Amino acid sequence: MIEDKNQQRTQLSDLGEFGLIDHLTKHFKINHKSTVKSIGDDAAVLDFKDKKIVVTTDLLVEGVHFDLSYMPLKHLGYKSVIVNLSDVFAMNAKATQITVSIAVSNRFPLEALEDLYAGIETAAKIYNIDVVGGDTTSSTTGLLISVTAIGEVENNNEVYREGAKPSDLLVVTGDLGAAYMGLQVLEREKEVYKVNPNSQPDLEAYSYIIERQLKPEARKDIIKLLKDLEVKPSSMIDISDGLSSEIMHLCKHSKVGCDLYEEKIPLDPQVISTCEEFNIDSTTVALNGGEDYELLFTISQDDYSKIKANPNFTVIGYMKEAQAGMHLVTRADTKIPIKAQGWKNFNA
């Protein structure tokens, strides 16, 4: 959290818009045959032939979605890609291309944007996607990042939020709540730093949850795993706004109800211990925390035997008729209506 006052600063005005784009994207490589034309023309040209195309976009705004006092720019670049790829994977699709647009104020030198794009480049390499375009402009309010992700999926293999049926099993990947608790630790240390700038936090005990906040991963592996297991979900969504919110989306679009079992919700031990430290209920964190970027999906009970022994999956509930409603079944075997209390834009 201590800034190096002697770092080199190259003014963006020295390059101009097109020089800046050329400079920041010069190391991006093309990996997909579907990328006919990428950066350098009025538009990218993609050829997907007989496959369906999925497109998604997200906007990240400084002061709303990220805080640069503890979010390194390289991590931010990486995360800005991941949050979009997660939406592609939630369609049971393969991510292939992205575009990246930024609005940046004059307090950012070239070197800062190089760090941002280094994170974008790292994500592109790891997830094997092509960066095929974008835009840059000035901002008077800090940094804004908009990423659009494009993917492909074989005909009839796409999965929507609709499609879940009564008696389907509700399944989640990974564990939940870590990103939110990582954010709580970072916010606490920020306040300590404000009081004592010489303070150096010891975050080793929180390494997993902080990484889940600063450098999340999208579950590309799950799409291949489901294919290998010959399991096609009946509905699917990624967990960006909290488990309760995503369950409500699946139920609304599929016109079904749901019983979610509290004792089945997967929690990492570091999440549990940090919740105890902050005196926060871990179930509440899992339900409403958000930014986990795990996948939540439903499957037919006929497919249960294919996933039951796999450590990537946890069956956490099952779908019911719509009139049964959506409920959390507590450890005490009482039913509580599920409500969405996670991330909401435009809060007053």
Crossing angle for the helix pair 16-25 and 110-126, to the nearest 10 degrees: 40
Crossing angle for the helix pair 178-195 and 207-214, to the nearest 10 degrees: 100
CB 118 within 8 A of CB 110: no
What is residue 201's predicted lDDT score, i.e. its pLDDT? 80
What is residue 52's predicted lDDT score, i.e. its pLDDT? 84
Going from the C-alpha of 304 to that of each of 70, 191, 220, 229, the distances in angstroms are 42, 47, 21, 11
CB 50 within 8 A of CB 155: yes
What is residue 50's predicted lDDT score, i.e. its pLDDT? 80
Q: Which of 90, 131, 24 is nearest to 239 (CA)?
A: 90
Crossing angle for the helix pair 207-214 and 269-278, to the nearest 10 degrees: 100
What is residue 317's predicted lDDT score, i.e. its pLDDT? 98
CB 58 within 8 A of CB 147: yes
Task: Find the helix or strand (DSSP H, E) in which 15 lies.
Answer: none
Task: pLDDT tens for the chain, 348 residues: list them.
Answer: 445 556 677 776 666 655 666 777 777 777 877 776 665 545 455 677 888 888 888 989 999 899 999 999 999 999 999 999 999 999 999 999 999 999 999 899 999 999 999 999 999 999 999 999 888 899 988 999 999 999 988 888 989 999 999 999 999 999 999 999 999 999 999 999 888 888 788 899 999 999 999 999 999 999 999 999 999 999 999 999 899 999 999 999 999 999 999 999 999 999 999 999 999 999 999 999 999 999 999 999 999 999 998 999 999 999 999 999 999 999 999 999 998 765 444 343
Stated pTM of the model: 0.87
Q: How remote is the C-alpha of 259 from its chain's centroid? A: 25
Hey, what are 197's tokens? 């700038």
